Chains A and B, each alone.
Chain A
Amino acid sequence: MPEVRDNLFIPVTKQADQQEKITRPSITYWQDARRRLKKNKFAMAGFYFLLGITLFAILGPFLQKNGYDVQHLTARNEMPNSTFWFGTDEFGRDLWVRLWWGTRISLFIGIMAALMDLLIGVLYGGISAYYGGKIDDMMQRFIEVVYSIPYLLITVLLIVMMGSGIWTIVFAYGITGWISMARLVRGQVLSLKEQEYVLAATSLGASPWRIITKHLIPNALSFIIIQITFTIPQAIFTEAFLSFLGLGVKVPLASLGMLLSDGVGSMRVYPWRLLFPALIFSLMMVSFNLLGDGLRDALDPKFRK
């Protein structure tokens, strides 16, 4: 065993600032959340699937020369082949093009629903909770009333009234879909506004608008994001449901819901007409749900182990 001499050791200098030094880079809340999310294989799979589906929805129709409404009357009900990758429907329309157009429309409806959630739901919940008292009471009564209206029935009524189409569906969602977001944000803001930093901002003379937008909403942001990942698939699902009842987008435009209900009608003879839309639709739904669950685990401290 070699001899250990004193001169091998270098004494550490005692310096106040050195003792306080943080050796590892500090991690912000969002970096931490991203790290947790990346560890979650299911959520990441969902994320990449969604990325892929979105890319195909944007680029897919350009890979084929046909428009979504071009009819090839000599090539009706064709099996998937080298000309028509996903086959054709009973009017000879290219299902590959129609499928990705449909995905575009479904995604668009989902994104618009998310925007409605942000615009109406977040502000409504935020204002209601921030002002409290009588205003909160009244706004909550209103929410309670809207909440117990079966919203699909109201959507159906609206569509009957305004005629079917993408914007009607978006509008109908704008009327009823933001309720759960408003409730969630209200709950968050109610607990956040009692925090000291809000008191500090108020005493420094910050306006209510500034406090809501700069302090309260950013702090409730994680819950808002989680809610949105569940709003989007719900809106897409609603569109599919309406399409089945014949109240969806107008022909010859295709949405995923419409392709699905077309496919169901002909599945015994032409199974591929159901297979591809059903595959993409379910994949999209599963991905949104997995991503939403993963985000909740990553962002919400309650779900951490």
Chain B
Amino acid sequence: MYRFILRRFCYMLITFWMIVTVTFVLMHNLPGDPFANSEKLSTQQRALLAKEYGLDQPISVQYKDYLINIAKGDLGVSFAYPTRRVTEIIKQSFPASAELGIESIIFSVLIGLILGITAALKHNKSWDYGAMFIAIVGVSIPSFVLGPILQYLVGVKWGILPAALWDGPANRVLPALTLSFMTIAITARMMRTSMLDVLHSDYIKTARSKGLSQFSIILKHTLRNAILPIVTVLGPITVNVITGTLVVEQIFAIPGLGKYFVQAVYSNDYTLIMGLTIFYSLLLIVVMFLTDIAYGFIDPRIRLAKGRN
């Protein structure tokens, strides 16, 4: 098990290094420079600014400096907000994004599990079709359409919940729901397949022939085994949540990281784009690493198979 964790950890580091490099290369081939929009700068001022940000150095030196700084946990100074460090921006705006993300993951796992379990238990009946219909609609409507519709109907027209901003707990409901719509669908489908798999296995037949009640079969034998593969959904769910926040934070005016990322793209803010991409990737890599390990702990088959490779 320790060898398995160590191997996965090494992959994680290699992946992270590659992402840093790819981001660096991409960003240095961008057309235009971050000061191109401020027309009033003279050539001298521009050269001074370039020197201050280290843009006049050869690329290999810039790359080396960048790697060293990242190892120190320093992502540089934003071009668009010269008084703020990227890490500072992340520290300030990540809590809102993280809270939104976690709430939406809780939403999607809860609702997704309920839908998936219902669908599997009522296989090929109208409950099943209903749940799967919701799941398919979930992957069919983009969040940037669903969000404004919810915002308008629930927030403006009926006035049940606040339509935007990020003040109290009631502000959390609509964004989190919008964000989790697609992940609910993913979880529900996964849970349904997994439940159906388990329901047809021999030990369920054994349990039934022992005379156990339907309730305890489902609770003790089916659910416990069927819920295992759900751990693997956490990776894709995190991806969805990260990319989803880019959109949802725009719609509901939430002061999170996603808003900064989109703005940085518009304003050619190299360091902020690089910093945020690296931060997001790190988040994702760590989540994938943890899910792999968790899955290895829960399901010995995975551990053994991977160890043998």
Bound CA–CA A157/B239 (angstroms):
16
* Chain B contacts for A278, CB-based, 8 A: 141, 145
A150 & B280 in contact (Cβ 8 Å cutoff): yes
A281 to B144, CA, bound (A): 13
Near B by CB (< 8 A), chain A positions 119-157 give: 141, 144-145, 148-154, 156-157
Q: Are A150 and B30 in contact (CB under 8 A)?
A: no
Query: How many residues on B have C-beta within 8 angstroms of the other chain's C-beta atoms?
Result: 39
Contact B137 A286 (CB under 8 A): yes
What separation, in Å, do the CA atoms of A196 and B301 have in the docked complex? 27
User: What residues of chain A lie closer than 8 Å to B280, measured between beta carbons?
Assistant: 150, 153
Q: How far is the CB of B254 from chain A (nearest CB, A)?
A: 16
Contact yes or no, A244 B26, CB < 8 A:
no
Is B81 among interface residues, defined by CB-CB distance under 8 A?
no
Contact A282 B27 (CB under 8 A): no
Which of the residues B18, B145, B246, B281 comes within 8 Å of A264, measured between beta carbons? B145
**With a CB–CB cut-off of 8 A, which chain B residues contact A264?**
144-145, 148
Residue of B nearest to A263 (CB): B145
Kindly identify, within residues 257 to 305 of chain A, every residue whose CB is under 8 Å from any CB belonging to chain B: 257, 260-261, 263-264, 267-268, 274, 278, 281-282, 285-286, 289-290
The segment out of A10-18, A54-62, A158-166, A202-210 that lies at the interface is A158-166
Chain B residues near A148: list those with CB within 8 A.
Answer: 15, 281, 284-285, 288
Q: Considering the complex, give the chain B residue whose CB is closest to the CB of A157.
A: B26
Give A171-194 as 1s and 0s: 1 = Cβ < 8 Å from B's Cβ atoms: 000000000000000000000000
CB of A240 within 8 Å of the partner chain: yes
> In the complex, are the beta carbons of A289 and B139 less than 8 A apart?
yes
A82 to B194, CA, bound (A): 52
B140 touches A156 (CB 8 A): no
Q: Is A49 at the interface (CB under 8 A from chain B)?
A: no
**Residues of chain B with a CB closer than 8 A to A247's CB:** 265
Inter-subunit contact A161/B247 (CB<8 Å): no
SS class, residues of chain A in contact with chain B = helix
Q: Given that A150-B242, A241-B243 are known contacts, is A282 also in contact with B30, CB under 8 Å in the complex?
A: no
Contact in complex: B18, A290 (CB < 8 Å): no
Asked whether any CB of chain A lies closer than 8 Å to the CB of B22, the reply is yes
**From residue A238, how far is it (CB to closest CB) to chain B in Å?**
9
B265 in complex: contacting residue of A156, A241, A244, A263, CB < 8 Å = A156
Contacts of A285 in B (CB 8 A): 139-141
Q: What residues on B are CB-neighbors of A286 within 8 Å? A: 136-137, 140
A149 & B22 in contact (Cβ 8 Å cutoff): yes
Q: Is B23 an interface residue (CB 8 A)?
A: yes
Supply 6 A–B pairs (Cβ within 8 Å), ascending by A: A145-B19, A149-B281, A150-B239, A150-B242, A263-B145, A267-B148
Taking A157-B277, A241-B243 as known contacts, 6 extra A-B pairs with beta carbons closer than 8 A to each other, sorted by chain A number, are A151-B239, A154-B22, A158-B26, A237-B142, A278-B145, A282-B141
- Which residues from chain B sit less than 8 Å from chain A, CB to CB? 11, 14-15, 18-19, 22-23, 26-27, 29-31, 136-137, 139-142, 144-145, 148-149, 152, 239, 242-243, 246-247, 262, 265-266, 268, 273, 277, 280-281, 284-285, 288
Closest 3 pairs (CB-CB, A-B): A285-B140, A244-B144, A152-B243
